[in-house]
């Protein structure tokens, strides 16, 4: 599933071709993709609204309209891109929602697995109010992060995947951040020292910024808004590198299951601790 760096890359790629365009109409062929409101109300409300800006909250794409916000969650296989009406792409085979724009353009949402969701709302807090702080924002403070760790009897990997704790981190960048901090993914969150927490607070940001720099990881379905692949997968320290040599120490990267997710770590750089 695309995480914060992948979604941020898509957002940046959509700004130039989409901001300032007016939505003329909407087509869809899979009702479950349109989470809310009803397809009929959705089409009626969105028509005639102009795109004022594009942003991101956690793993959600936020397309700011005049009166509403068009919210897209890519889930496992979603792709969002702008194309001329006459253009045909391979991804078009799985387009389930399309917004017709002025200038003979279209905003297309392609989703092979059909897990993606599209929302139209005038109240973002009702939809996204449960999310924790943005890890690249000033709201993600060290004090708040440390406080959230206290007494937690679950693995630090599971803790980082909790979107109410910190928004936008998924399996990939949790593994990368933990490696950079030298913390074993099975370590109990509540047993981290203040020094551990401070270092992890920094490496979360470092891992995410590296992901954005390399425009996301095109491991499975993820593609940028222009259809190109990201390069982050070529720069990972541990994720997807099972049985390969650690870039830091040369030990063999292991893969285990933590929080029901495949988890990569270096046994030498991230040793298990006895408390």
- Residues involved in catalysis: 2-3, 59, 261
Give the separation between CA 258 and CA 111, rounded to whole angstroms: 28
Give the closest residue to 6 by CA, choosing from 159, 164, 231, 175: 231
Give the separation between CA 199 and CA 178, rounded to whole angstroms: 9
Give the closest residue to 233 by CA, choosing from 180, 175, 161, 178: 175
Give the separation between CA 160 and CA 174, rounded to whole angstroms: 6
* Other residues' Cβ atoms within 10 Å of the Cβ of residue 254: 17
Give the separation between CA 226 and CA 217, rounded to whole angstroms: 15
> Are the beta carbons of 234 and 225 closer than 8 angstroms?
no
């Amino acid at each position: 599933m695309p995480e914060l760096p992948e979604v941020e890359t898509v957002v940046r790629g959509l700004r130039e071709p989409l901001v300032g365009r007016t939505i003329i109409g909407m087509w869809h062929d899979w009702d479950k993709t349109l989470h809310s409101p009803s397809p009929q109300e959705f089409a009626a409300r969105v028509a005639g609204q102009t795109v004022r800006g594009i942003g991101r909250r956690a793993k959600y794409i936020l397309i700011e309209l005049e009166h509403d916000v068009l919210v897209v969650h890519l889930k496992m296989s979603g792709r969002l891109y702008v194309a001329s009406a006459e253009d045909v792409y391979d991804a078009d085979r799985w387009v389930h929602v399309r917004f017709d724009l002025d200038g003979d353009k279209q905003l297309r949402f392609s989703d092979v697995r059909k897990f993606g969701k599209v929302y139209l709302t005038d109240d973002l807090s009702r939809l996204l109010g449960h999310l924790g702080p943005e890890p690249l924002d000033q709201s993600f403070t060290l004090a708040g992060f440390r406080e959230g760790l206290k007494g937690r009897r679950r693995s630090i990997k599971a803790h980082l995947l909790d979107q109410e704790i910190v928004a936008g981190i998924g399996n990939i960048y949790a593994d990368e951040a933990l490696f950079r901090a030298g913390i074993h993914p099975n370590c109990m969150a509540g047993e981290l020292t203040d020094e551990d927490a401070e270092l992890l607070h920094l490496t979360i940001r470092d891992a995410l910024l590296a992901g954005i720099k390399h425009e996301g990881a095109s491991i499975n379905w993820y593609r940028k808004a222009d259809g190109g692949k990201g390069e982050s997968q070529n720069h990972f320290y541990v994720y997807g590198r099972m049985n390969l040599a650690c870039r830091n120490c040369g030990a063999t990267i292991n893969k285990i299951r933590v929080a029901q997710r495949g988890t990569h770590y270096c046994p030498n750089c991230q040793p298990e601790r006895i408390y």
